[in-house]
Structure 1
Amino acid sequence: MKRNTGGSGTHHGLILALLLPVALLLWPLHASAASSPAGHGGISYPIVYIRCERTDRQVTLKGTVVIDGEKKPASRVMRGADIYDVLPDVSHFFGGFSGPCDLVYRAPSGEERVLYDCSSRSSMEQACAAMDPAVSFDGRRVLFALFEGSLKPYKFRFPAPILDPAAENKKQMFWATLPVKRLAAQQSRLLIVDIDSGRVATLPHEPKTFDSGPAWLSDGRIAFTSTRGNPYQTLVFGATDSNRRIARIHVMDTNGKNIELTGYHGLGGQQHPFQLLDGRLSYSSWQLFGALPFRTTNGSPGRFGTLANFFHLYSQYPDGSVPFALYGQHRANYTGRFGQNHKAAHFAGQSSDGRVWVTDYYRANNNGLGIIVGFPLPPEGQEGIGPDDKPGIGDIYRPRGMVNLASWATSEDTFARGMPKPAYSDPEYADPLAFAGKLGHPWGAPGNRLLVTWGKGPCSTVASGWILKRPRPPLIDGSGQGVPLNVMTYLGRDNPGCDAGIYEIGTDKTSKHPSDMIRVVDSRKWHELMARPAIPYSEIYGVERPADRPAAHLRAANTDYLPKGTPFGLLGAASVINRETRPLGGLPFEGENQWSLQGTDTVDYEDGEICGMRILGVQPNIRKEWGRLFTPAGERVVILGEFPVRHFTGQGKPVRDSDGDIDSSFLVRFPANMPYLMQTVDCQGRTLNSDQSWQHLAPGEIKVCGGCHVHGKPGKDFGGTIAYRKDYRPVLLGQGTVPLLAGGPPGKPEIRQAEGFGLQIEFDRDILPILRRRCASCHSGSDAAAGLKLDVPGTGKGSTWRCLVADRWQNCVPKALRHKGTGRNGILRRPQLTKYMRFMNSRGSLLYWKAANQRTDNRSDDQYGPKDKAWNDVDFGPDHPTEMTSEELGMLARWIDIGAPGGRGYLLDTTPPTLTLAGDLDNGKLIRLHIGVADIPSGVKAGSLRICLGDDRRCLPTPPLPDEQGIVHVTLPEPLSDRNGEILVEVEDQAGNRTRLTRDLAWLARNYETGEATSERPRIYDMEGSSRFGDKPAK
């Protein structure tokens, strides 16, 4: 496609007038001629974009100042109020951004047409903002979100020296109201507009919910994020305000029917999915489980980092299966060889050559703008540079081939950098731009180029006065109190605080200057963002639409373990011994990289100690949990079961896989749609390494990996393992008993069974009785040994739970016995929670050592001492008999290994039942239903299954469930032939959680008309040619 790159423009070469006293002059402007504004010529294809009203007028602040002891009124005219405008980002996802906002179509000629007008119809009381446009693959329709609510002016307090730097009443504060308008949204819904006719269709919506971030799918459906089900985020340990409402990915038909939650594993929240060329969905995932938020500390030992910066780029199939990290999961405030660190990864797109581009920015203060990084998609199942490549900590799992689109942009939480030479003039502003600005919202354009949003100006509410020459005025560094406004006023230029506009840029090399970009649309009246080419997909990517990724039950081979309608999935691994789980820096006693950034090995262990796997179900938070959920894990964790993975011959010799390595493969079945984690354990069920990134199995899915967190290289082939053989019987979990490893050698580990569909462990109910029975004779009362009372219930101050789990300050430890680590003022650093406990690590915890009367971390007391700094660990000390039984030790170890939870609220069942619907069709008519039901942890309520047909909801007699978990087969009294005819299925669990599905016949026909498995089976995760699963399940 021929492209107009735009003219060179006029060189302004403006000289700054003397606007301020000499003491406040700016650093000198570059003497060279000013650069032209980025390409005047525009682009040769139409686009759609979002425009939001920009604050573009001076404001007057008023108050009282005291000068020479005399009080007098004062006022000051201020520039740059637009620095307080807010654009969407991870922190302003449900509103709080500037409004109103319109959806606009722009022709190559520059002629514009508003496709959805909020600006003219909004008032302060009732306002709207169009957001998140997605152009259909034929280029004819735009799917977008409409946020609705009221507009609120921005108010802030400022001190008297803002009015006059000589003011003596430095601490006296005054209120100011700016003309900045922010949308307090109450809901958002999805709409589709036809570009040519302008006709708008509204998709079905639940009031007060937020449906947003839509994307077209290659199979004709729509993906979007929604707050349906009212989920809340992970509770970060120690954070009182971290438990907020979140959105998860759903899919539905374009008529709004057949809505399916696919982001079951998105317990922290998911934002802005879009479909990659290869058919996967890419999206931003908020990863907050357990230790992950503690990789940075914000300067306080043992504390979490900036939570909203823990959004990373992930992928999944459209049905929610195969979630996997693409970018950022193992990166933090380490620049590495790439030269930029990672904060929040958001607003991603893809260029014509298949590279993914994503904005990396600091949350909340920077309008979702920062730097744009790009990288080729790694092979599925890999992230990037692995441990075998011996990277520095800043480069571990960084995607290979990653580049920074523009070196002049920054992702730091402060003002943008100064404009590089030559000086840059914009026709909308009288003076050359002082700041280089920030970038965001990359989206693929023809010719391997990108449409981006360029925020001109400092574009941050965290001010930095470096641009003002010394001596500098007061109140020019930091956030709040009008400081950013103060800097812009002292700057004295006709420059924006932040003015977002749309530009096009090439991807063949790193941009060195903003003039490398082509100006598309950029008016000082508006913020323009989220541009999308309004052309067929094929004109960008050479194909009509992305590849199809069929649902998991269609990809999987037929097997008696996963019959039609199954509520289960199969999870397997080619090897547990093949792993990339050791932290790069080893296992010092203190150090945030282990567990929080990369590697979760609990102790120094050998391959021979690996015995089995534990599957943990992770329950969603369904309300604000602060005050009733006490656990460093942040969620309710349920043990689904443990099982051995090492294989031996009848003579007791290890079996070797096809590579000659000791075979440690497995295959396990458990309920689908249940978020889960995996832990490698020894033969006593104690954790050796652990997941912290949620996954889930889709119904009927067979997911197999090549090792434990082998993300830096190809995994081991599952086809050459014991678990792939026809005579191998998968482990079945969620069947009413929970298998637990109970000792013995790896060749013959003992297994005991606990009753229930999942095992929950809570401190007061399960652990405190053991401590009282075995320990309280010494550890109670005013003279408790080591000052540690092990008989105090609850989770409040002075409780045993708090002293064991939540005392990083060592307040419960007598001063003479406190561990002197590297943390400030005796505060313990992660992964240590207290002197007595290490996060999810029984074998490394002093409490467990004392209970077992031995160190269990394969180290000795004299191995490390004070001279070893961060490696200086706690000592076991003298002999400490307790008479604990092996079962009691197992309960204590598992309690520590699942996060040491406390509080009665922990034992709640917050997981809705798994419910699936399948059908048999004969000549397009539905004749039989197969309904799958399972539930963790309480089990399905008897008699709660309801099946209804048609608009009149005629309900059918329902046969009882087999063993409370399984499949019910129902033959219809007469065939159903209406393609729009709906089937409603509903079930409840013992705790009152309810799941409802509504599907029409068209949906069943798409999924089950042939009943045959598709030949398109991704090689890495879904077993190819696995028809050997013809044997019956083991009882």
Structure 2
Amino acid sequence: MRRCTLFVFGGWLLAAGAAGADTVQPLPYELLYVRAPYAGAGPAQANSVWPDTVRPLTPDAGAQLVLLKRDGSREVVFPLERYRGQIDTPAGKPLAAGAVADPNVSFDGRQVLFTWYHDLTAVNPQRGDPEGPSLSTAGADLYKLDLTTRALVRLTTQALTPNTGNGARFEPGVAGSNHPRIGVFNTGGTWAPGRRIVFTSSRNNFVPPKAFNTGQRVMQLFAMDDDGRNVEPIGHLNLAMALHPQVLLDGRIAFSSWEEQGLRDVRQFPLWVIGPDGRNWHGLSGFAEPFLVHHFMTQMPGGDLVVTRYYNLNNNGFGDLIRYPLDPAGPDFDSPQAVFSDGLDGKIPFQRIEQVRLTPFTTPDDFPAPCPGWEDNAYGSSGIEGPAPCAGAARRGKLTHPAAAPSSAGDPARADLLAVYAAGPANHNGIYVGLGTALPWVHGTIVLIPDGRPVAVPSAGTPGKPPGLVTVVAEDGYNLQWP
């Protein structure tokens, strides 16, 4: 469950936050989010890089953890110079060489877990996507920050624990060494029962058996005490990759997995669930949707899961949002006899019972977001079969990073849904870049979906963002992430 919303903290005295947001609509609670530099929308600027299943470990440098307060002011809470002694960002480099990712607020709202990439400007070009970023030589580690005292605790170090039983040597910088010449990546922490933390790590130095590029590592599930001690693996089945574990209300851990037993498409990344001790694992969703990913999820207070579906690599983790009950009455899955139709009409073999599309105005597929009036035919409005029927800014946009939130109406029996929204195409497939239908580049803003209900498809005469998405924060010079 993504929890980056904060409840009341009495007696705080906070410094004034940075100014300059295009839009700030304060909420009746405090909100943590990440903001990363945004270069611009046009072809002269570089598109941003967001973590997804193909490139989960190469975010843009300069991302900060920001607190949006109830009065609308904002405060950068990390990184700050006073924390220099607890991070591995070199003293001669600015803090903007690193980046924050994966924030997760504790159950009592007093602490936040997050990942810190120490130095994304020092990379090994032999460990990366040939057309994209490479892995950092400094790696990433988990931290927790007390939101009242601002005390910072480092939870992981750059401990490398490879298999040395075959006589392999892993001394860095030594000729003939098997050291990967990149850092260790400890990421995606979530609070678990018994004062434990579950996270993913590359510390065992495995490589996926079906890697798309040399930048992919086997991220395995580990658990540790909430002070960083007693680290132990719980994802013994993670032979390819596990990403972004999130604790559920019943104490189990949901996570995206590249273990594809019985599947026929190496691009699939279904959602699984596992006990916090590594037992009782089974599938949740995404097993019958060729080429799509089920990633970035949250759990609503009533138990329903909200999941992002997207096509890997070309969409920066943006797609559509679906919602389904975790434990419905009767079977969990629908009929295997459905005729697959890209899921636009709900005909997906073995889809979850009562699964609904919260954002039917957009697509999870590898096309630019649809033009107005083309919501059921994103391919047709992509420009590949003729002139696109709308300009890029008029497209419906896509979403990612859902997060359950208290009701903005103040009703304790209700709950809203926060998410990150990118207007326009939200796709950088080279085909559409060449056709000119991939612009403007992704510019993430934080939006609210009241009551977490499906957003109505606007009329064809209403271009761009659907009115049912309420903008909470939009900053001109930043991509906003991870609410």
TM-score range, shorter chain: 0.7 to 0.9
Task: Confirm or deny: 8 A CA contact 1:118 1:128 kept in the other structure.
Answer: no
Q: Residue 152 and residue 189 in structure 1: after superposition, are their counterparts in 2 closer, same or farther (change >3 A)?
A: closer
Query: 1:54 aligns to what?
Result: 38
Q: Residue 249 and residue 526 in structure 1: after superposition, are their counterparts in 2 closer, same or farther (change >3 A)?
A: same
Displacement of 1:99: 1.8
Query: 1:185 aligns to what?
Result: 136
Amino acid at match of 2:360: S
Query: 1:228 aligns to what?
Result: 203
1:1001-1016 matches, within 5 Å, as none
Query: 2:146 aligns to what?
Result: 194
1:810-821 matches, within 5 Å, as none
Whole-angstrom distance in 1 between the partners of 2:96 and 2:306 = 36
Query: 2:463 aligns to what?
Result: none
Task: Confirm or deny: 8 A CA contact 1:39 1:517 kept in the other structure.
Answer: no
1:359-370 matches, within 5 Å, as 359-370=308-319
Query: 1:45 aligns to what?
Result: 29
Query: 2:99 aligns to what?
Result: 129
1:882-904 alpha-carbon deviations (Å, 9 max, x no partner): xxxxxxxxxxxxxxxxxxxxxxx
Asked whether 1:112 is paired with 2:82, we answer no
Asked whether 1:98 is paired with 2:41, we answer no
Q: Bigger radius of gyration, 1 or 2?
A: 1
1:336-357 alpha-carbon deviations (Å, 9 max, x no partner): xxxxxx6011100011221101
Mark the runs of 5 or more structure 2 residues left unpaired by the alignment.
Answer: 1-21, 126-130, 160-182, 341-346, 375-390, 407-413, 459-465
Task: Confirm or deny: 8 A CA contact 2:303 2:326 kept in the other structure.
Answer: yes
Task: Confirm or deny: 8 A CA contact 2:392 2:437 kept in the other structure.
Answer: no
The residue matched to 2:193 in structure 1 has which SS? coil
The residue matched to 1:314 in structure 2 has which SS? strand
Whole-angstrom distance in 1 between the partners of 2:373 and 2:24 = 20
Asked whether 1:509 is paired with 2:467, we answer no
Whole-angstrom distance in 1 between the partners of 2:326 and 2:192 = 19
Asked whether 1:249 is paired with 2:221, we answer yes
Whole-angstrom distance in 2 between the partners of 1:320 and 1:380 = 26
Which of 372, 377, 382 is the aligned partner of 2:326? Answer: 377
1:523-567 alpha-carbon deviations (Å, 9 max, x no partner): 120000110xxxxxxxxxxxxxxxxxxxxxxxxxxxxxxxxxxxx
Displacement of 1:126: 8.0
Task: Confirm or deny: 8 A CA contact 1:152 1:181 kept in the other structure.
Answer: no
Task: Confirm or deny: 8 A CA contact 1:378 1:384 kept in the other structure.
Answer: no
Whole-angstrom distance in 2 between the partners of 1:259 and 1:380 = 37
Query: 1:449 aligns to what?
Result: 416
Task: Confirm or deny: 8 A CA contact 2:221 2:234 kept in the other structure.
Answer: yes
Task: Confirm or deny: 8 A CA contact 1:98 1:181 kept in the other structure.
Answer: no
Task: Confirm or deny: 8 A CA contact 1:371 1:410 kept in the other structure.
Answer: yes
Asked whether 1:143 is paired with 2:106, we answer no
Whole-angstrom distance in 2 between the partners of 1:232 and 1:432 = 38
Displacement of 1:231: 2.3
The normalised TM-score by structure 2 is: 0.73
1:718-733 matches, within 5 Å, as none
Whole-angstrom distance in 1 between the partners of 2:372 and 2:94 = 37
The number of residues matched between the two structures is 387
Which of 282, 297, 311 is the aligned partner of 1:348? Answer: 297
Whole-angstrom distance in 1 between the partners of 2:39 and 2:198 = 33
Asked whether 1:414 is paired with 2:367, we answer yes
Query: 1:263 aligns to what?
Result: 235
Whole-angstrom distance in 2 between the partners of 1:348 and 1:526 = 23
Whole-angstrom distance in 2 between the partners of 1:90 and 1:376 = 24
Whole-angstrom distance in 2 between the partners of 1:370 and 1:456 = 12
Asked whether 1:525 is paired with 2:477, we answer yes
Whole-angstrom distance in 1 between the partners of 2:71 and 2:404 = 20
Aligned alpha-carbon RMSD (Å)? 3.3
Task: Confirm or deny: 8 A CA contact 1:213 1:272 kept in the other structure.
Answer: yes
Displacement of 1:412: 1.6
Whole-angstrom distance in 1 between the partners of 2:437 and 2:339 = 38
Query: 1:64 aligns to what?
Result: none
Whole-angstrom distance in 1 between the partners of 2:251 and 2:78 = 30
Q: Residue 457 and residue 319 in structure 1: after superposition, are their counterparts in 2 closer, same or farther (change >3 A)?
A: same
Whole-angstrom distance in 1 between the partners of 2:309 and 2:392 = 27
Asked whether 1:357 is paired with 2:326, we answer no
Query: 1:332 aligns to what?
Result: 289
1:216-615 matches, within 5 Å, as 216-233=191-208, 235-236=209-210, 244-289=216-261, 292=263, 295=264, 305=265, 307=266, 309-329=267-287, 331-333=288-290, 343-378=292-327, 383-387=332-336, 390-392=337-339, 394-419=347-372, 433-446=393-406, 447-462=414-429, 477-479=431-433, 483=434, 486-487=436-437, 496-506=440-450, 507-513=452-458, 514-531=466-483
Task: Confirm or deny: 8 A CA contact 2:25 2:72 kept in the other structure.
Answer: no
Displacement of 1:508: 2.9
Task: Confirm or deny: 8 A CA contact 1:102 1:118 kept in the other structure.
Answer: no
Q: Residue 273 and residue 411 in structure 1: after superposition, are their counterparts in 2 closer, same or farther (change >3 A)?
A: same
Query: 2:177 aligns to what?
Result: none
1:715-741 alpha-carbon deviations (Å, 9 max, x no partner): xxxxxxxxxxxxxxxxxxxxxxxxxxx
The residue matched to 2:445 in structure 1 has which SS? strand
**Hey, which of these two has a bigger chunk of helix by percent?**
1
Q: Residue 440 and residue 55 in structure 1: after superposition, are their counterparts in 2 closer, same or farther (change >3 A)?
A: same
Task: Confirm or deny: 8 A CA contact 2:318 2:399 kept in the other structure.
Answer: yes
The residue matched to 1:433 in structure 2 has which SS? helix
1:12-43 alpha-carbon deviations (Å, 9 max, x no partner): xxxxxxxxxxxxxxxxxxxxxxxxxx996442
Amino acid at match of 1:508: R
1:599-619 alpha-carbon deviations (Å, 9 max, x no partner): xxxxxxxxxxxxxxxxxxxxx
Whole-angstrom distance in 1 between the partners of 2:218 and 2:242 = 8
Whole-angstrom distance in 2 between the partners of 1:43 and 1:181 = 37
Whole-angstrom distance in 1 between the partners of 2:338 and 2:397 = 32
Whole-angstrom distance in 2 between the partners of 1:321 and 1:185 = 33
Q: Which one scores higher on RCO, CA 8 angstroms, separation ≥ 6? A: 2
Whole-angstrom distance in 1 between the partners of 2:26 and 2:215 = 45
Task: Confirm or deny: 8 A CA contact 2:455 2:468 kept in the other structure.
Answer: no
Whole-angstrom distance in 1 between the partners of 2:418 and 2:257 = 23
1:710-749 matches, within 5 Å, as none
1:876-895 matches, within 5 Å, as none
Task: Confirm or deny: 8 A CA contact 1:327 1:383 kept in the other structure.
Answer: no
Whole-angstrom distance in 1 between the partners of 2:455 and 2:307 = 15
Whole-angstrom distance in 2 between the partners of 1:181 and 1:148 = 19
Q: Residue 57 and residue 529 in structure 1: after superposition, are their counterparts in 2 closer, same or farther (change >3 A)?
A: closer
Amino acid at match of 1:43: L
Whole-angstrom distance in 1 between the partners of 2:61 and 2:134 = 6
Task: Confirm or deny: 8 A CA contact 1:500 1:529 kept in the other structure.
Answer: yes
1:26-37 matches, within 5 Å, as none
Task: Confirm or deny: 8 A CA contact 1:269 1:286 kept in the other structure.
Answer: yes
1:972-1028 alpha-carbon deviations (Å, 9 max, x no partner): xxxxxxxxxxxxxxxxxxxxxxxxxxxxxxxxxxxxxxxxxxxxxxxxxxxxxxxxx
1:287-329 alpha-carbon deviations (Å, 9 max, x no partner): 244x52xx3xxxxxxxxx4x3x311000011001011100012
1:723-770 alpha-carbon deviations (Å, 9 max, x no partner): xxxxxxxxxxxxxxxxxxxxxxxxxxxxxxxxxxxxxxxxxxxxxxxx
Task: Confirm or deny: 8 A CA contact 1:149 1:184 kept in the other structure.
Answer: no
1:856-935 matches, within 5 Å, as none
Displacement of 1:149: 2.6
